[in-house]
Structure 1
Amino acid sequence: MFRKILAAAALLAVFSHAFAAVDVNTANEDALRGIKGVGPARARAILDERSAHGPYKDASDLGKRVKGMGGHTVERLQAEGLAIGPAQPQAAQAKVAQTTPAKAGTPQAAVAVKK
């Protein structure tokens, strides 16, 4: 009985790791290295390019900016769990947070309605 539970837990851990996406625009080196096909040199190249020139817009942007990563390599890494999320700088994210609508009944909501 214990062996069945242990085997089920191990299987669940394998499947949950396989489906966990790692966003190239937010991941650290350890997270990138967790993807099959990304070693220390490739992870460092991705991070260096991202810190020098900002987040990646899409898969083709990643392939163009990082040396040694063509279209097929990026596709293979995406199949392994690499995700390229929307490239929004932190300043843009903060602006979006500031422009969210206020809750009804608050003074900010009344001001927003009058405009």
Structure 2
Amino acid sequence: MIRRLLCGAALLACGASQALELNEATEAQLDGLRGLGPSSTARILQAREAGPFKSWADFMTRVKGIKPATATKFSAQGLTVQGATYTPESK
């Protein structure tokens, strides 16, 4: 819990507009995103071991539970895939 608070505080200090690249994010950085818990983070890291995510569509296909609504929320928090933010057209 303390780790999540510290990660959240660090993200706020960096500014909400600070981009966080999914293919480079650490476990702590991912845990700092609202809506991601330890099990979701573990699924993301496990899927990433097979290779980097090529797009938001690739991310949503390979990680159970990631749908357009959650992708929109993560993108609004600064998460990017290959430098791109999520838009419904980027499916």
Same fold by TM-score, threshold 0.5 exceeded?
Answer: yes
Between 1 and 2, higher relative CO (CA 8 Å, sep ≥ 6) is seen in: 2
Amino acid paired to 1:30 = A
The 5-angstrom pairing of residues 20-39 of structure 1 reads 20-39=18-37
Q: Partners of 2:15 and 2:37 in 1: how far apart? A: 17
Taking only aligned residues, the RMSD between alpha carbons, in angstroms, comes to: 1.8
2:86 matches 1:68: no
| Structure 2 segments unaligned to the other structure (5+ residues) | 1-10, 84-91
Once superposed, which parts of structure 1, at least 4 consecutive aligned residues long, lie more than 6 Å away?
none
1:83 corresponding residue in structure 2: 80
Residues 60, 71 of structure 1: 8 Å contact kept: no
Question: What is the number of residues matched between the two proteins?
Answer: 73
Aligned match of 1:56: 53
Is the 1:35–1:81 contact (alpha carbons within 8 Å) kept by the matching residues of 2? no
Higher normalized helix content (fraction of residues):
1
Mapped to 1, the partners of 2:18 and 2:35 lie a distance apart of: 15
Is contact 1:18-1:80 (8 Å) kept? yes
Work out which of the two has the higher radius of gyration on C-alpha atoms and give 1 or 2: 1
The alignment-based identity, stated in percent, is 34
Return the TM-score normalized by structure 1.
0.57
